[in-house]
Structure 1
Amino acid sequence: MKEVKCVCGHINPIGTILCESCGRALTEEAKKEKLHDMRYEGSARRSQTYNRTFVDKIWNFFSSVKVGIWLIVITLIASALGTFLPQVMYIPQNADPAVYYGEKYGIGGDIFYILRLHDMYSSWWYLLMIAAIGVSLVICSIDRVFPLYRALKNQKVSRHEGFLKRQRLFKRAAADSQMETDFEQVKANLKKKKYKIREENGNILAEKNRFSRWGPYVNHIGLIIFLIGGMLRFVPGMYVDEFLWIREGETATIPGTHKEYVLENKKFTMELYNKDDENAVYEATLDRVGSVVKSFQSDVVLYKRDLDKTIGEENDLTEITEAEIRVNEPLKFDDYALYQMDYKLNELNTMSFNLINKKSEETVGEVTIDLFDPQNEYDFGDGYKVELVGYYPDFSGFAENGEPVSDSPTPNNPAFLFNMISPDHPDGEMSFTAIKQTAEPLGETDYKMTFKEVTTRNATGLTVRKDLTLWVLILGGSIFMIGVIQGSYWNHRRIWLQKEKDEVLIAGHTNKNWHSLRNEIATIVKGTSIPEPIDQQEKKNNVKERGNKNAEFDTDKQ
């Protein structure tokens, strides 16, 4: 395959349809056309030229606009399917997804899990779809923008007559003695319309708003950057969106910080609106519902851990700051932010039980269990002790096999399975105990565990955020909008005015808004002998319509 040399002497790349310089048709198909397809100026696109190697076929596949649209449609459908049921991060933390979806949603849940839709947005195939869209955008842009740029850059002022007469707006007329004066008048009018004028051998090429042709490709660049920003969120350390429950007096490692930062909750306070206040603004609401939260905050201390020391080692934490976290007033540090999002008042903290001899009703021992750090064994001495066989923080009932079920690791409704060891029963007796509830799952026992009391404390819910991709998303979105404005509010317009022997030829082209261009040319040539161009597309449609009407008339006569 060799480069194509035009009669004008310009050497065109392989696959060129219209000469980049003079516009002469280089293929038989182009010579037969009534109107030239000027979308890409007849330039040589790689996807329409090469189709031999494997790389060519991959390039041609992704350069197709239809392929890009289908990739977007499939990704949107997949995204929609992923919203039918909760994603895996929203199901109970201790639940097995393989079992949970089937038990909760039936056969639909099983299909949802089998198709891997439960963890879709971080799955390899979803990321592959996003990457494929990005590849399609890149290849589509490269396949079109460089040939188009080259063709517009190489265009000469004087174009071949066949090129001009195959433009949608075209007209020829006989030249008269006033033609030179008329040309000068047209040039002055073009300058008033902000056209950039080039002249060659008395011919004129007027052009403006070429930059609008690059609007779609600027869109592509913005979308590519936006997709890169979205994919960067799956890179460790670039994006964190975690939730932390921390109780009063508790110290916890902040999730998503690689164990580098630790938070201590000194106190949680909540303030209610009081209708007796002078500035009460919710008096009607207070009368109806009783109480309305005015504000809630967490008084915290932020520590930084020395990662060179062992966790728990003395002086491994260094205090960074004390802060008050309120709604919309986060604690910010080292690209992280802690937002006040939720709270729990009077959350269960400890539970106390008594080991009682059922026959004598004597209390053998008392045990207090820390619901967030239960021990495996509690020894009362004299041969009496209790082993904690099972702990169910959020007890919701029994499964079909008789096993107790916990909906979450949060102690909303704690239940325990105890093995009660005594001198009378050295192997122990089993007791299932919850708040004001005691059961004997393996038969009647001589001892029992009875609920005594609970202690509570307040807990605060904080969202941990870190987003190093936000500026990438904003940049991509901004560039995309620039492309939208660039391509929507301007259009590329060209007007050719040429002398051919004793005739004058005028032609016009725009990438959109033909009616406006036609009116603008009419204004420019007004008062001169240069004719207004006609819309050959409308003329063609009118002729076709008249032909159809004549055919219908002949049929009726028959």
Structure 2
Amino acid sequence: MEKVKCECGHVNPYGTYLCESCGKPLKEEKGKIANMRYEGVARRSQTYKKSMIDRVWNFFSSVKVGIWIIFALLITSSLGTVFPQEMYIPPGENPAIYYEQAYGTIGLLYYQLGFHNLYSSWWYMLLIASLGISLVIASLDRVVPLYRALSTQRVTRHEGFLKRQRVFGEAEGLDDPEAEMKKAEKVLREKKYKIRKENGNLLAEKGRFARWGPYVNHVGLIIFLIGGMLRFFPEMYTDEHVWVREGEQEVISGTGGNYFVRNNEFAIDLYDEENEMFEAALERAGGSVVESFRTSATLLKRSSNGTVGSETELEEVKDHEIIVNDPLTFEGFSLYQVDYKLNELSTFSFTLESETVDEDFSDFIFEVDLNDPQKLYEFENGYEIEILEYFPNFLIDDNREPTTINRIPDNPRIIFEVFPPDVDREDENAEGEISLIGIQVNESLNGDHDHTIRLAGVEMVDVTGLTIRKDRTLPVISVGAIIFMIGLIQGSYWHHRRIWIQNREGTLLLAGHANKNWHALKKDFSLISANTQIPSPVDQLDEAAKEKENEGVNQNNV
């Protein structure tokens, strides 16, 4: 695959169809019109096909392969929208149980195939990376030879090059060819063409920058894809959901445990039912309608003065009332108000009663925090109560075993074991009185009991739902999108036009080429013809079509 030297002296890469300098056809091809795609230069993917690197390069440089990768991304991306991704299911839900319960067998299959975390899966990332590689290789495979050809083109072009342009014509018998060329030059300058001259020949060029539009477009898309992939790095992107109960605080994800948010108070506002403006709408809604909801929050930061092993000391940073579209912001993080839950079970109060022992149990009351229950409760009179199992959201599974749907105490069940003073809990053979207790549930699990634990009271709390969001990829994505739009506009609203006028012993050869919008190029030739004695060239593509049509008519007549 040796390089080819043209008669003009320019050395062309192997596989070049038209000399990069003078345009002389280096290969014989059928048809009157030259193949001007990428200026007839050699592309790497069309010439080198032996090594493994060549095969990989040729595979990703194919436009068809790029389209198939885009098609595969569209199909897989749509699969991720059939059911909610895991990050969007209710907080605390076990995805292995949730998808089957919510969507049946199809939901279970959706989970088992890994579609619940589709956009962070390795094979989806591989598809995005493949698209990026395809864009880079396809662009380099075309832009490098195109740039080389356009930068080395001479004004004086081979006669065979001119005659094989789509728009070509000859002007013979002119009184003064040189004067007519000067008139044409003046017209083209007025049309903002860039003029180059050589040996009495003329090249007028306009809008070359439009040729780089698709490649600028590709650069923007590659930057956009990089920004999208950066979202899978925790330091670059965080989108988490946290529930904070009134009076409590939770760590803010993505801060390394250094920041906390405290829910001081949650409140909702309802539309005024006595307001005539809302009366009809409220009647259709069938009850009270929430107008707004908000959280009075405090941002806390881990104190730097704490010693190793000591309890966490938190410093108040700032207070903020979080409402919809008015988040609490700090160090690139934003806490948005997105959801709430009223009257969530928080604490159960229990009493212990005895059926046989004549003892006063009136002051025997203990509380169980449903979000963080103690394991053991000890009392001064010697009684001990141990929690054997706790199910915040009780459920009997397919194997008839008790389990919990999630850690939210929507349907709590507790298994207690009561040890009277005369029973040593530390004894391996000791057995207390075991009961399953919940709302309207009080069952003995090991025979008759002398003691009964009864539910004495319930405390509820309002819970606010906040989204923790940090997005450092937006500048990268924005830059990519802006570059993408610049390339799109650059390649869509401008076009590259060239006009060659050469004097061959008194005969003017005219040729023109446009990468698109041939009508505008023909109008420029018509303007030259109107201001000079030079006739407009013809569109050889139209002439060829007419010849075929005439041949078909003649054959029919025969």
TM-score, normalised to structure 2's length? 0.91
Say if 1:355 and 1:311 are closer, same or farther in 2 by CA, change over 3 A. Answer: farther
Find the partner of 1:168 among 155, 166, 169: 166
- CA distance in 2 between counterparts of 1:140 and 1:526 reads 43
Residue of structure 1 in register with 2:150 after alignment = 152
- CA distance in 2 between counterparts of 1:389 and 1:155 reads 86
Residue of structure 2 in register with 1:123 after alignment = 121
Residue of structure 1 in register with 2:427 after alignment = none
Residue of structure 2 in register with 1:394 after alignment = 393
Q: Which runs of 4+ in 1 moved over 6 A?
A: 359-363
- CA distance in 2 between counterparts of 1:465 and 1:166 reads 60
Residue of structure 1 in register with 2:288 after alignment = 291
Say if 1:165 and 1:385 are closer, same or farther in 2 by CA, change over 3 A. Answer: same
Please tell me the residue identity of whatever aligns with 1:406: T
Find the partner of 1:336 among 328, 333, 338: 333
Which 10-residue stretch deviates more, 193-202 or 347-356?
A: 347-356
Q: Tell me the SS of whatever aligns to 2:17.
A: coil
Q: Is residue 354–residue 363 contact of structure 1 (8 Å, CA) maintained in 2?
A: no
- CA distance in 1 between counterparts of 2:297 and 2:95 reads 35
Please tell me the residue identity of whatever aligns with 1:11: V
- CA distance in 1 between counterparts of 2:121 and 2:79 reads 14
The answer as to 2:151 corresponding to 1:137 is no
Residue of structure 1 in register with 2:509 after alignment = 505
Q: Could you give the per-residue CA deviations for residues 438-487 of structure 1, whole angstroms, max 9, x where no partner exists?
A: 23455555544332221122222111111000010111011101111111
Please tell me the residue identity of whatever aligns with 1:474: S
Give 1:288 shift: 4.8
- CA distance in 2 between counterparts of 1:418 and 1:15 reads 85
Give 1:169 shift: 1.0
Which 10-residue stretch deviates more, 161-170 or 431-440?
A: 431-440
Residue of structure 1 in register with 2:401 after alignment = 403
Please tell me the residue identity of whatever aligns with 2:547: V
Say if 1:549 and 1:504 are closer, same or farther in 2 by CA, change over 3 A. Answer: same
- CA distance in 1 between counterparts of 2:49 and 2:268 reads 70
Give 1:303 shift: 1.9
Please tell me the residue identity of whatever aligns with 1:292: V
Residue of structure 1 in register with 2:194 after alignment = 196
Which 10-residue stretch deviates more, 503-512 or 316-325?
A: 316-325
- CA distance in 1 between counterparts of 2:360 and 2:175 reads 126
Question: How does 1:73-152 map onto structure 2 within 5 Å?
Answer: 73-91=71-89, 97=95, 101=99, 105=103, 107-152=105-150
- CA distance in 2 between counterparts of 1:417 and 1:141 reads 67
- CA distance in 1 between counterparts of 2:545 and 2:405 reads 70
Residue of structure 2 in register with 1:313 after alignment = 310
Residue of structure 2 in register with 1:22 after alignment = 22
- CA distance in 2 between counterparts of 1:86 and 1:344 reads 20
Q: Is residue 356–residue 362 contact of structure 1 (8 Å, CA) maintained in 2?
A: no
- CA distance in 1 between counterparts of 2:149 and 2:269 reads 70
Please tell me the residue identity of whatever aligns with 1:235: F
The number of residues matched between the two structures is 549
Say if 1:87 and 1:327 are closer, same or farther in 2 by CA, change over 3 A. Answer: closer
Find the partner of 2:59 among 44, 61, 78: 61
Residue of structure 2 in register with 1:461 after alignment = 465
Say if 1:401 and 1:189 are closer, same or farther in 2 by CA, change over 3 A. Answer: same
Give 1:42 shift: 1.0
Say if 1:103 and 1:348 are closer, same or farther in 2 by CA, change over 3 A. Answer: closer
Question: How does 1:185-224 map onto structure 2 within 5 Å?
Answer: 185-224=183-222
Say if 1:464 and 1:110 are closer, same or farther in 2 by CA, change over 3 A. Answer: closer
Q: Is residue 437–residue 451 contact of structure 1 (8 Å, CA) maintained in 2?
A: no
Give 1:196 shift: 0.9
- CA distance in 2 between counterparts of 1:455 and 1:12 reads 86
- CA distance in 1 between counterparts of 2:360 and 2:343 reads 28
Q: Is residue 355–residue 447 contact of structure 1 (8 Å, CA) maintained in 2?
A: yes
Q: Tell me the SS of whatever aligns to 2:40.
A: coil
The answer as to 2:7 corresponding to 1:7 is yes
Which 10-residue stretch deviates more, 312-321 or 35-44?
A: 312-321
Find the partner of 1:345 among 342, 345, 358: 342
Q: Is residue 355–residue 363 contact of structure 1 (8 Å, CA) maintained in 2?
A: no
Please tell me the residue identity of whatever aligns with 1:304: K
Give 1:432 shift: 2.0
Say if 1:314 and 1:358 are closer, same or farther in 2 by CA, change over 3 A. Answer: closer
Residue of structure 2 in register with 1:491 after alignment = 495
Residue of structure 1 in register with 2:367 after alignment = 368
- CA distance in 2 between counterparts of 1:198 and 1:452 reads 98
- CA distance in 1 between counterparts of 2:282 and 2:175 reads 92
Q: Is residue 168–residue 511 contact of structure 2 (8 Å, CA) maintained in 1?
A: yes
TM-score, normalised to structure 1's length? 0.91
Which 10-residue stretch deviates more, 212-221 or 398-407?
A: 398-407
Say if 1:394 and 1:481 are closer, same or farther in 2 by CA, change over 3 A. Answer: same
Question: How does 1:515-530 map onto structure 2 within 5 Å?
Answer: 515-530=519-534
Q: Is residue 223–residue 477 contact of structure 1 (8 Å, CA) maintained in 2?
A: yes
Q: Percent identity?
A: 51
Please tell me the residue identity of whatever aligns with 1:387: E
Give 1:223 shift: 0.5
Please tell me the residue identity of whatever aligns with 1:225: I
Q: Tell me the SS of whatever aligns to 1:223.
A: helix
- CA distance in 2 between counterparts of 1:439 and 1:76 reads 55
Q: Tell me the SS of whatever aligns to 1:228.
A: helix
The answer as to 2:552 corresponding to 1:548 is yes
Q: Could you give the per-residue CA deviations for residues 143-185 of structure 1, whole angstroms, max 9, x where no partner exists?
A: 1111101111111111111111111111123141132222222
Q: Is residue 493–residue 510 contact of structure 1 (8 Å, CA) maintained in 2?
A: yes
Please tell me the residue identity of whatever aligns with 1:455: E
Q: Could you give the per-residue CA deviations for residues 203-259 of structure 1, whole angstroms, max 9, x where no partner exists?
A: 111111111111110110000000000011111211011112112211221112110
Which 10-residue stretch deviates more, 531-540 or 140-149?
A: 531-540
Q: Could you give the per-residue CA deviations for residues 90-116 of structure 1, whole angstroms, max 9, x where no partner exists?
A: 446666655655566555345434433
Which 10-residue stretch deviates more, 151-160 or 285-294?
A: 285-294
Say if 1:99 and 1:410 are closer, same or farther in 2 by CA, change over 3 A. Answer: closer
Say if 1:46 and 1:78 are closer, same or farther in 2 by CA, change over 3 A. Answer: same
Say if 1:546 and 1:416 are closer, same or farther in 2 by CA, change over 3 A. Answer: farther
Residue of structure 2 in register with 1:304 after alignment = 301
- CA distance in 1 between counterparts of 2:298 and 2:111 reads 42
- CA distance in 1 between counterparts of 2:353 and 2:207 reads 91
Say if 1:336 and 1:423 are closer, same or farther in 2 by CA, change over 3 A. Answer: same
The answer as to 2:255 corresponding to 1:251 is no
Residue of structure 1 in register with 2:426 after alignment = none
Give 1:376 shift: 1.2
Please tell me the residue identity of whatever aligns with 1:342: D
Q: Is residue 436–residue 450 contact of structure 1 (8 Å, CA) maintained in 2?
A: no
Say if 1:366 and 1:208 are closer, same or farther in 2 by CA, change over 3 A. Answer: same
- CA distance in 2 between counterparts of 1:361 and 1:491 reads 101
The answer as to 2:540 corresponding to 1:536 is yes
Give 1:363 shift: 8.2
Please tell me the residue identity of whatever aligns with 1:54: M
- CA distance in 1 between counterparts of 2:195 and 2:523 reads 19
Say if 1:490 and 1:361 are closer, same or farther in 2 by CA, change over 3 A. Answer: farther
Q: Is residue 260–residue 307 contact of structure 1 (8 Å, CA) maintained in 2?
A: no
Say if 1:80 and 1:477 are closer, same or farther in 2 by CA, change over 3 A. Answer: same
- CA distance in 1 between counterparts of 2:390 and 2:50 reads 67
Residue of structure 2 in register with 1:419 after alignment = 417
Residue of structure 2 in register with 1:434 after alignment = 438
Q: Is residue 34–residue 165 contact of structure 2 (8 Å, CA) maintained in 1?
A: yes
